[in-house]
Each structure stands twice: as structure tokens, then as C-alpha cells.
Amino acid sequence: VGSLCFCSAASPVPYVVEFTSPEQFEHQTQASTGQTTGSWFVMFLSNKEDCNKCRDGVASLESLAERQLGDVIWAKMNTELFPEFVQRFNLRFFPTGILFKDRKMHVFVPSEADTSPETILNFVESVSDAKEGETVPPVPSLLNTLSAMFEKQANQSPALIYGGLGALAVGLALLIVVSRLRSRPNELSAKAD
């Protein structure tokens, strides 16, 4: 008599990987460069004390990893330490899980208080190779990072930004005037010759 087994493929790593830097995240997941290290489910967390769902989500990841459930590597990242990931992946709620698979990302935002291991595993297993996902955003360049910082500062204190831009404009105008005044004596002596 045959038996049916509704079993998951085994997770390659029996613990939850905790990313301690953006460089480690990129190196291990290869999220934006090809994902040759396999599929990753990363839970992006807020370490704020009132984030009970975050604590529950981490417990669920630990349970899945310990039981080696799911054909993925389970990981977590504290967005309080690395806020650039909030913008890069457009994170609005915490926790948010992202499955990085086949050069795509599939976003999992748990419903009201449901961060159970079963719910997370069902999500991961529901993402087939054919299921469309979003393109993984590239690693932000220095220019993108500076632009985002400027935009954030402009939204928080526009008077400071406008004052700085005004001072910059006045400085440039003075620089132009001074350079023209300095070049005038040369023009006058050239005409006298």
C-alpha cells in the first residue's frame, strides 16, 4: 500500500541568517546580480518594541529553519540599522518578507497578526518558477543615495534647503562677478597696447 507524503524540500541552512551589513546581504543573496546562491526568504523587520508581529515572524523563521522546511534559505534584516533597504524595496509595513527567487522578488506582507510558520511556508511554496515577480531593484549608487538624502531633508525642513540653495546661488553670482572684474584689467591693458 503506497502512502502520500506532503513534505517540503529541505532548507539548505538549518538556522536563520542575520544580515549585519548591506554588503553581506548582496554577497550572500546576490539579489540584484543573478541569485546563483539559491532562493532566499528575507524578513525585513523593525526592532521597535511594539512590533509583536516582527517577534512572531522571527520565531516562525527560526521554526522553519530548525525543521529545515522550505527549499529556501531563511534570513532576517533589521531595517532600523539599514534604512536604505526600506526605500530600495519600498517597504511600508513590518514585518515584510521578500522571497528572492529566479532573479525576481515576491513580496509577502502578513495579514493581520498572521506570521505563522505555515502561512510563510505556504507563501514560499506557492511561488512557482512561472509565477511573475517584481524585478529586484539594483544596489543604489552613491548619487542615488545622496539624492534620496537630499529629498528626505527637503521634505523635513524645506526652509533649510531653500536657504542653502539661495546661499549657493549668491556664492556663484559673486564668483562670476569677481572673475569678470579680475579679467577686466587684462582687457583694458590689451586695448591700450
What confidence score (pLDDT) does residue 62 get?
A: 93
Looking at the structure, tell me whether residues 118 and 78 fall in a common domain.
Answer: yes
Looking at the structure, tell me whether residues 24 and 95 fall in a common domain.
Answer: yes
Nearest in space to 10 (alpha carbons), one of 127, 161, 121 = 121
The set of residues, in sequence order, having a beta carbon less than 8 Å from that of 19 and lying 6+ positions away, is: 25, 28, 42, 75, 76, 77, 82
Q: How far apart are CA 121 and CA 99, in angstroms?
A: 11
- Asked whether residue 116 is assigned to any structural domain, the reply reads yes
- Asked whether residue 101 is assigned to any structural domain, the reply reads yes
Looking at the structure, tell me whether residues 132 and 53 fall in a common domain.
Answer: yes
Structural domain boundaries, residue 95:
17-139
Looking at the structure, tell me whether residues 112 and 182 fall in a common domain.
Answer: no
Per-residue pLDDT of the chain (193 residues; tens, 9 = 90+): 343 333 445 556 678 999 999 999 999 998 877 767 788 999 999 877 778 889 899 999 999 998 887 788 999 999 999 998 998 999 998 999 999 998 899 999 887 668 899 999 999 988 866 568 888 888 876 776 677 677 777 778 778 778 888 888 999 999 899 888 887 766 556 565 5
- Asked whether residue 31 is assigned to any structural domain, the reply reads yes
What confidence score (pLDDT) does residue 4 get?
A: 33
Where residue 21 sits, what CATH number does that domain have?
3.40.30.10
What confidence score (pLDDT) does residue 13 get?
A: 66
What confidence score (pLDDT) does residue 188 get?
A: 56
Taking residue 170's Cβ as centre, other Cβ atoms within 10 Å add up to: 10
Looking at the structure, tell me whether residues 68 and 126 fall in a common domain.
Answer: yes
Looking at the structure, tell me whether residues 131 and 90 fall in a common domain.
Answer: yes
- Asked whether residue 28 is assigned to any structural domain, the reply reads yes
Q: How far apart are CA 127 and CA 131, in angstroms?
A: 6
Tally the domains of the chain: 2
Q: How far apart are CA 82 and CA 8, in angstroms?
A: 32
Looking at the structure, tell me whether residues 127 and 188 fall in a common domain.
Answer: no
- Asked whether residue 74 is assigned to any structural domain, the reply reads yes
Looking at the structure, tell me whether residues 80 and 167 fall in a common domain.
Answer: no
What confidence score (pLDDT) does residue 6 get?
A: 36
Looking at the structure, tell me whether residues 37 and 115 fall in a common domain.
Answer: yes
Looking at the structure, tell me whether residues 48 and 110 fall in a common domain.
Answer: yes
- Asked whether residue 11 is assigned to any structural domain, the reply reads no
- Asked whether residue 103 is assigned to any structural domain, the reply reads yes
- Asked whether residue 146 is assigned to any structural domain, the reply reads no
What confidence score (pLDDT) does residue 136 get?
A: 87
Q: Which residue has the cell 522571527?
A: 58
What confidence score (pLDDT) does residue 5 get?
A: 35
